[in-house]
Amino acid sequence: MLIHADANAFNKLLEGKGTFIVDFFATWCGPCKMLGAVLEKVAPENPYDILKIDIDENVKLAEEYEVMVVPTLLFVKDGEIIHRESGFFSKEKFRALVQAHMQ
């Protein structure tokens, strides 16, 4: 499920147990829009929530997690960032990343 979130929601999830993906994006970013379309397609088949965090609305959070490029995805498992991937990629690569890092 795609969830538009803010720093509070992200921090709350980070404190708990569970697995989720964070998409740091910007509304003005072309590759972010392209990746957003990919995520919308794969979200229904993905067992993990995907938190969408707008870097312009959550500047401190983006700085805290050293997001220098958008889009940037963080793969989080039980409060630990286990993988980071930046830039646009296909739904096939997204599926491969989920399989490699989230299982």
Catalytically active residues, by annotation = 29, 32
User: Tokens 């889009």 appear where?
Assistant: 71
Tell me if 24 sits within 8 A of 71, measured CB to CB: yes
Phi/psi-derived region of residue 39, left when phi > 0, alpha when psi is between -120 and 50, beta in every other case: alpha
Q: Give φ, ψ of 59 to 5 degrees.
A: -60, -45
